[in-house]
Amino acid sequence: MDDKNNLAEGSIYRKIIFFALPILVGQVFQQLYNTFDSLIVGRFLGDQALAAVSSSGSLIFMMVGFFQGVALGAGVIIAKEYGAKNYKSMKLAIHTDVAFGLAAGLLLTILGVTFTPAILQWMHTPADVLPQSIAYFRFYFCGSVFSVMYNIFVGILQAVGDSRHPLYYLIISSIINVVLDLLLVGVFRFGVEAAALATVIAQGISAILCMIQLLHAGGEHRIVLRDVGFHLDSLKSIIRFGLPSGVQNSVIALANIVVQSNINTFGQYAMAGCGAYFKLEGFAFLPVTCFAQGLSTFVGQNLGARKYERVKKGVRFGILCSVSLTELIGILFWLFAPTLISLFTDSPEVIAYGVRQARVESLFYCMLALAHCVAGVMRGAGKASVPMVIMLSFWCVLRVTYITVALHFYPRIEVVFSAYPLTWTTSCVAFLLYYFKADWIHHFERMQKT
């Protein structure tokens, strides 16, 4: 076992930071190229094209999120087997994970291309925006296999403690994406399809680079092409651990599509302004994502190695870092929202919508961070059903119910915006009640003694 990738040995704080830092930097580059995607489209193709591209997040995540969630289950299994040095079981899980990703990517391509028009119409996408939205999404989903396989490969690498190589490949693909956006959209003005094509090419390159790394890896996690296939026991474990996260991702994304459909009813300026906000909000997710993923891997490896006190210390440190950094970003966003939103457009109406959303939501980012980190800890412990139930209850049922009822009595877009801090905060209360009362770490300690 490579000691530098082994999170069950050495300084807890150093291991978490040095594992999470490459994920953080990688997420910065990923968010930058996502933001540049919209920024270039808005500047060169106008507010209508920006509205078409900016409404993409919820729909894409609904289609991709299920398979990403199942892949998280594979990551938990791989991390635990790696920590316990059960390399035979780990290899079976890795090769089953790859086979699952290939099948999922092909299925997602078919579903995305086929059902995009119907879903966009169901989302109340304005008629003047609809043709460009359909073109963008269809081009994007043609490359679904690259998106799914990239997440599969990154999950394998991170499960064995390697967060550096995904960073290198993400930087390369981010630069390629921005260059292609500038060339295809900025210079040749090919339209929103070109922005989607640039993203697909960039994702394909990053997936291929990750695959090459795994094919030539020196450790026990190396992929052997002839071994790729569905090993029944491993597939059952992956589905058992990953299905709750997959269902959670898809249903929450479906709820956010309902939210987006309500935003769409306020017109293309609201779509463009809120779309710009969501691109910038992605930067607040950076410490959320990196520490949530880091804690899942840290908890998985250390539970596999039966180091329970180490788990407790690492969890406290990771949550504190994530919450503090995320809230700092939220404060900065609240202060500089007008300047940041104006990077996408000169339209006062678009800027106004983006600023209004930022001023309602950004100071509550600490709640978002806390919820995701505790959810990451639970997944690393193999308890993926806990965050699934809590997030579906609050981020789906409560969010949609609140918006539906409140808009009826107070039909202003601030009602939609306020649904996010409301559901983030209430879910945190539920997470903390479970975290402090469930005594889940001692459950593993008792299992070891019996």
Give the per-residue pLDDT at 54. Answer: 65
**Spacing of C-alpha 273 from chain mean position:** 22
- pLDDT tens figures, 209-224: 999 999 998 888 899 9
Domain borders along the chain are 3-449
Written as six digits, the tokens of 450 are: 């019996």
Q: How far is CA 61 from CA 68, 143, 147, 271, 313, in A?
A: 9, 14, 11, 17, 33
CA nearest neighbour of 381 among 286, 426, 314, 328: 314
Helix %, strand %, coil % of the chain (to 5):
85, 0, 15
Kindly report which listed range (100-104, 120-124, 321-325) carries the lowest average pLDDT score. 120-124
pLDDT band at 450 (very low <50, low <70, confident <90, very high): very low
| Res. 297: pLDDT tops 90 | no
- pLDDT tens figures, 255-289: 877 888 888 888 888 888 888 898 888 888 778 88
Give the per-residue pLDDT at 429. Answer: 93
Query: CB atoms < 10 A from the CB of 85, how many?
Result: 13
**Spacing of C-alpha 387 from chain mean position:** 15
Q: Confirm if 159 and 78 have CB atoms less than 8 A apart.
A: yes
Q: No. of H helices and E strands in the chain?
A: 18, 0
Q: What is the mean pLDDT of residues 57-75?
A: 73
Query: CB atoms < 10 A from the CB of 90, how many?
Result: 25
Angle of helix 232-264 relative to helix 87-122, nearest 10 degrees? 30
Question: What does the DSSP assignment read for 165-232?
Answer: HHHHHHHHHHHHHHHHHIIIIIIT---HHHHHHHHHHHHHHHHHHHHHHHHT-SSTT---GGG-S--H
Q: What is the mean pLDDT of residues 228-237?
A: 88
| Res. 194: pLDDT tops 60 | yes
Give the per-residue pLDDT at 3. Answer: 56
